Each structure stands twice: as C-alpha cells, then as structure tokens.
Amino acid sequence: MIQNPVSAAWRDRSSAPRGRLHAFASGRPRRPRRVAMLSVHTSPLHQPGTGDAGGMNVYIVELAKRLAALDIEVEVFTRYTSSDLPPTVELAPGVLVRHVTAGPYEGLVKEDLPAQLCAFTHGVLRTEAGHRPGHYDLVHSHYWLSGQVGWLAAQRWGVPLVHTMHTMAKVKNAALARCDTPEPAARVIGETQVVEAADRLIANTADEAGELAFHYGARPDQLAVVHPGVNLELFHPGGPGAQRIARAELGLPADAAVLLFAGRIQPLKAPEVLLQAAGVLLERRPELRERLVLAVVGGPSGNGLAKPQSLQKLAAELGLGDMVRFHPPVGQADLARWYRAATALVMPSHSESFGLVALEAQACATPVVAAAVGGLPVAVRDGETGTLVQGHDPADWATALEPYVVRPELVARLGAEAARHAAGFGWSAAAAATADVYAGTLVRPAGRVGPARRRLH
C-alpha cells in the first residue's frame, strides 16, 4: 500500500471504538426514512465467490438488513441479469431489491457496463418518479459505476449522496498482479468525478480514507471510517468437535492440515501463491505430503475467466493434484462449515479494501495467513489471530504456513483469539455507524449546498 501523510493522520484517529464513526459531527440528527442503495454491476442476490460477486455483495446484504432493523428502509437497485427475475424481490423485511433493465440480460461483463449507465439511471429515476416527492431521503452508491448513477440521482432528487468505493483503480494498479490487466483510465476519471460529487465517502479503514485523500483529493469533511462487519449468528466457532464434524461432512481427513482459499479465482486474489507455497513447503518437508490438504472454494472471475482451469493445471505441474480439493462457490452456511474445517485460511491477495472472508474465518475460530495489503492488517492481528506476509514470494509464504501445518497448539491458541477478535466486528455496530453518517449528511446549515449540487449551478 502506498504510504502517505494523510493516511498516517487517519490511522492516528483509529483509536476510537471499533465499528464507531471516526471524525464526524457529534449529536443525534435525524436518520433517513428510506435509502436508495445502488449496486449496478452485481446483485445482492448473486452467489458470492464467482463472477463479479464477492465481499461487496455480502456487505450490501448485511448492511441493508441491519439498517432495516434500525427502521431505515432500503431499496437496492441492481441490473436485470435474467429474464426470469421479477421486477422486485423482498430480500428481508424493510429491504427491497429492484431490478433495472440496462442492456441485454446476459452476456455483459463489468467492463461493458459504462455504456449502460444512461439506461440504468433512467430506470432509477423512473422508479422514483412513480412515488410522491421525497420518497428517498438519501442515495448510497457502491463501487464507481453506481457512483456515476448516484451522482445524477441525488442531484435530481435534491438529496445527499453517500458513496463507498470498495476498490479503487489507482490502488489496484499500484499493486497489480503479474499478468493482470490495469484498470482503465475511464475508471480513474469516473472515480475522481464520484469523489468530487459525493457528500460523504465511507471508507473501510483509516488507510483507505487516506488513499481517497491522497489519490483522489477527497476532503477531510467528506471522509468517514466505518469498519465492515461479520454475521456472528452464522459465522461462529460451533460447539465441541466442530472441526471434526465439519470435516466429516465435507469428506476431509480428520487429521489433515487443511489450508483453505475461499474466494474468486482471479489474479487479484492470487490463489496460485497457496499452491506454489505448498510446493516449496513439500520440498523442505516431504513428509508433510501425507497430511497436507489444499482446499480451493470459489469460481473464476474477472481475468481468471480467460483461463478457468489454470489452477488445476498449476496443481498438476507442481505435483499437487492429489492434495488439492477444488470446490465451486457455496452459500454462507456451507462456507462457515469450510472455515470450521480448515486449519487456516490463506489470503494472498494483491489488494483488498478490507477482506471480509478474513473476519468470517476468524469468527469461526480459524486463524488467517494473509498478505499485508489494504484492510487486512486491520482484519487480522499479526501474531495474535494469524500471520501477515509481506509480498508474494512463495518461499516466504511457505515459511509463514509451516507452523500452522506442524503446530496444532499454535492453531488452537490463535484460533481462540481470532474468534474473540472477530466478535468485535458485528454488523449491527457497522450499520449504526453508517446510519450516523447518513444522519450527518442530512444536516446542513441554512444556505449550504452539498458538493454535487453546488458544482452544477
């Protein structure tokens, strides 16, 4: 991650209680009654772990549900991806998913969607026009494509725009994986426009807030830090013998050392590092072959779609074919089972805005070995709940992973601490902090006009 004075200043503010808003106005102004939440390129109804569905999908679903529990209705606008989908779906009480026609239902990839933003915006505006004025109090957009739509919708309705980046082109390009494709200039321009237009920018971590300021010129009064959460009702350690039970259900050896990768298979996530590190580890300790299992749960995504069998081929080339278990993406309940079955979760990503799977695994008492990038140093406590690795050299990763394979007492100790750590990241706290951000945007001194409205007058 690029270090800069602004991000250092935001880290200094991070001593506030976890899950609470950092650097925002005090008091309790009113919260919105109804929020238009925008997710253009991926639907909260999609299965995380494949295509463009991942942590952002989980983020939107969990946040929307918890906001509804705070009596803030949420309507999520997303694109039709199938003719079989109904116009609206009630995701939970108080949470409605609205499908918008923007381009063909199928066959579009994320890179094609900028050309469909006009159509998507039209669908959003038309929906609002069918209600009485003031139906939505606020727009919360996710990812830069949604921000482009949110900018116009908020301006038309005269309401504030809150935006969450999730990932940023300049940050991704600065830590590009080998053979990965740089994010285009059009995205950089689009993100810059959204930052200029937004009333508030919600960052996952203090470092991300610093990056928004450093790379995109975000103002201090725009920035708020709210850590994402984890569903503690679903992701938990389980009862006695939880690991043994989970392994029996998944067909994994009871006495194995199971190293798990869970997520989209694409260069950004670097799953090949796990396989390469295992190859190095076996060169050092051949006797470990008898008990080492590598589990990969997820599907090809992004640039990984060009070579969907690349990991299988790499496993064969490294002589690991008999040790690797490939499994397609699974639902949240089954994912919790995989976490409990694992000895450690491995996250070699080149970039992560936060890394929700790291929290989910820790909530299940599974330590995490992760790259020291993005928000992962916040999600994982190095040496206490897992290990942070600098760089992506397979030899370094083999060194980091070896203790988890050979020292069960270390795994138990770090796993117990991981569960305690993750327990502080409930979604209810994240939603309450987000609601406070919303409330703050609705308070303006007389005559003040938000940035998105001011610029165009």
181 is in an annotated binding site: no
41 is in an annotated binding site: yes
- Where do the H-state alpha helices sit in 185-297? 185-197, 206-216, 242-250, 272-284
366 is in an annotated binding site: yes
Residue 249 C-alpha from the chain's centroid:
28
56 is in an annotated binding site: yes
H/E element, 98: strand 95-100
Using alpha carbons, select from 395, 421, 447, 449 the residue that is nearest to residue 227.
421
For 395-448, the DSSP string reads HHHHHHHHHHHH-HHHHHHHHHHHHHHHTT-BHHHHHHHHHHHHHHHT---TT-
269 is in an annotated binding site: yes
Using alpha carbons, select from 225, 234, 243 the residue that is nearest to residue 164.
225
13 is in an annotated binding site: no
Using alpha carbons, select from 278, 383, 386, 372 the residue that is nearest to residue 322.
278
Using alpha carbons, select from 255, 252, 245 the residue that is nearest to residue 297.
252
DSSP, collapsed to helix, strand or coil, labels residue 128 as helix
8 is in an annotated binding site: no
Q: Using CB atoms within 10 A of its CB, is residue 155 exposed (0-12), middle (13-18) or buried (19+)?
A: middle
308 is in an annotated binding site: no
Interatomic CA distance for residues 300 and 307, integer angstroms: 8
57 is in an annotated binding site: yes
223 beta partners: 201
110 is in an annotated binding site: yes
Q: Count how many Cα atoms sit within 13 Å of the Cα of residue 9 in the half-sphere of its side chain.
A: 12
339 is in an annotated binding site: yes
278 is in an annotated binding site: no
143 is in an annotated binding site: yes
Whole-Å CA distances, 39 to 75, 145, 207, 250, 399: 11, 8, 24, 33, 40
53 is in an annotated binding site: yes
Q: What is the CA radius of gyration of the chain?
A: 22
Phi, psi of 314 (to 5 degrees): -65, -40
391 is in an annotated binding site: no
47 is in an annotated binding site: yes
Interatomic CA distance for residues 374 and 358, integer angstroms: 12
Residue stretches of the annotated binding site for UDP-N-acetyl-alpha-D-glucosamine = 47-48, 55, 264, 269, 330, 352, 360
Residue stretches of the annotated binding site for 1D-myo-inositol 3-phosphate = 41, 52-57, 110, 143, 167, 187
Residue stretches of the annotated binding site for Mg(2+) = 339-340, 342, 366
Residue stretches of the annotated binding site = 41, 47-48, 52-57, 110, 143, 167, 187, 264, 269, 330, 339-340, 342, 352, 360, 366
